[in-house]
Structure 1
Amino acid sequence: MISIDPAVQSERDSYKLLIGSVIPRPIAFVTTLSEKGVLNAAPFSYFSIVSSSPPLLSVAVQRKNGEAKDTARNAMARGEMVIHIVDESMVAAVNETAANLPPEESEIALTRLTPIASEAVAVPGIREAKVRMECVLDQSVTLGGTEEAPATDLLIARVVRFVIDDEIYENGHIDPVRLNPASRLAGSFYARLGKRFEIERPQ
């Protein structure tokens, strides 16, 4: 086994070990509105469930040179966002939105994705997503880096409305095969849902 102390290597080297180890990672496609009403959209794979009571999700938005990215800044300013689960049919379009655009330009313009009005928040969602979760910002936490240049804005989002394609929804459950989620690996690699197996949990 190789033993590595993260304190003696660069942030980039630690990043490569993390994204190569913590796999596959679900992808959150997050829409927010700027203060000027521009629809921002970006994918994040530092994403998970926090709680089901209330339903809370976490999205970690990495800063650039200590500056908050549009998604975090918009979410903190307006207190709302829509989180979409990325499936294989939309992953190429979502990847296009990772482009580095100025705040006054919408990433959606780079794609054929369709904005759609939300039911419970002012931020539009994306019609093509099979699962979208309209959220309010429960809290945000600045983490990592230095006091002068933090590394991450951790957004804790509370789901106030689930919007689910009826083709994947049955008796309160989501069919994972019909959802066909895409997941993130390292580098430019993605993965699709593979072979499933079942293990009973102990009582």
Structure 2
Amino acid sequence: MQSIDPAALSDKEIYKFFIGSIIPRPIAFVTSLTKENILNGAPFSFFNIVSSNPPILSIAVQRKEGVQKDTARNIQAQGEFVIHICDEENIIKINETAANLPSDKSEIDDAKLQPVESSKVSVPGIKEAKIRIECKVEKIITMKNDQGYPACDLILGRAVYFHISEALYQDGKINAQLLKPVSRMAGNDYSRLGETFTIKRPD
């Protein structure tokens, strides 16, 4: 087995190590509003559950040369956002939103996604998602690199409302086969749900 000290690697090498080994990664498609009320949308695969009580989700938004991305800046200013689960039916359009557009242009419009009004937050979601979760900011933690410069915004969002396609939700459980979630691999690769198996947890 090869042993590697991350201190000996460049930022790019560490990034490649992470995205090649932490797989598959769930993808959050996040909508947020600019101060000019423009609907922003972007996918993030540094995303996961933090806690169910309270209901907290996390999104890590990497900075570029210390500059916040639109999503992090919007969420910090507005305190609200919407997370959508990516699936086989919406991933092509969602991938289009990863293009680098000016802050005054909406990725939602560019990808021809359909906005839908939220119930408890001011930020709209998109109709194409089978699951969307309205969130309010619980906390934002700015992670600094070894030189002390801001490198990442870790956003903790409290879920305040769920929207789930009725066909997916049965007896309080979500049918993964009908959801058809898509997850991120390395490079330009994605993965489908694929084969599953069951292991009973010990008492």
Give the aligned partner of residue 71 of structure 1. Answer: 71
Give the aligned partner of residue 154 of structure 1. Answer: 154
- Are positions 1:30 and 2:30 aligned together? yes
- What is the CA–CA distance in structure 2 between the aligned matches of 1:119 and 1:22, rounded to whole Å? 34
> Mean Cα displacement is larger for which, 158-167 or 101-110?
101-110
C-alpha displacement of 1:148 = 5.5
Give the aligned partner of residue 91 of structure 2. Answer: 91
- Are positions 1:141 and 2:125 aligned together? no
The runs of 5 or more residues in structure 1 that have no matched partner are none
- What is the CA–CA distance in structure 2 between the aligned matches of 1:160 and 1:178, rounded to whole Å? 24
Give the aligned partner of residue 186 of structure 1. Answer: 186
Change (3 A) 1:195 1:173: same
C-alpha displacement of 1:111 = 1.3
Change (3 A) 1:66 1:85: same
1:105 is paired with a residue whose SS is coil
Is the contact made by 1:66 and 1:148 (CA closer than 8 Å) also made in structure 2? no
- What is the CA–CA distance in structure 1 between the aligned matches of 2:106 and 2:112, rounded to whole Å? 12
What letter corresponds to residue 27 of structure 2 in structure 1?
Answer: I
Q: Cα RMSD over matched residues?
A: 0.9
Is the contact made by 1:34 and 1:40 (CA closer than 8 Å) also made in structure 2? yes
Give the aligned partner of residue 198 of structure 1. Answer: 198
Superposition TM-score, scaled by structure 2 size: 0.98
What letter corresponds to residue 11 of structure 1 in structure 2?
Answer: D
The runs of 5 or more residues in structure 2 that have no matched partner are none
The correspondence of residues 170-185 of structure 1 with structure 2, limited to 5 A, is: 170-185=170-185
- What is the CA–CA distance in structure 2 between the aligned matches of 1:71 and 1:49, rounded to whole Å? 19
> Deviation per CA, 1:8-27, whole angstroms, max 9, x where unpaired?
11010010010000000000
- What is the CA–CA distance in structure 2 between the aligned matches of 1:46 and 1:123, rounded to whole Å? 21
Superposition TM-score, scaled by structure 1 size: 0.98
> Mean Cα displacement is larger for which, 133-142 or 147-156?
147-156
Give the aligned partner of residue 119 of structure 1. Answer: 119
- What is the CA–CA distance in structure 2 between the aligned matches of 1:157 and 1:147, rounded to whole Å? 28
- What is the CA–CA distance in structure 2 between the aligned matches of 1:68 and 1:92, rounded to whole Å? 25
C-alpha displacement of 1:147 = 6.2
Give the aligned partner of residue 39 of structure 1. Answer: 39
- What is the CA–CA distance in structure 2 between the aligned matches of 1:95 and 1:175, rounded to whole Å? 24
- What is the CA–CA distance in structure 2 between the aligned matches of 1:184 and 1:112, rounded to whole Å? 22
C-alpha displacement of 1:171 = 1.1
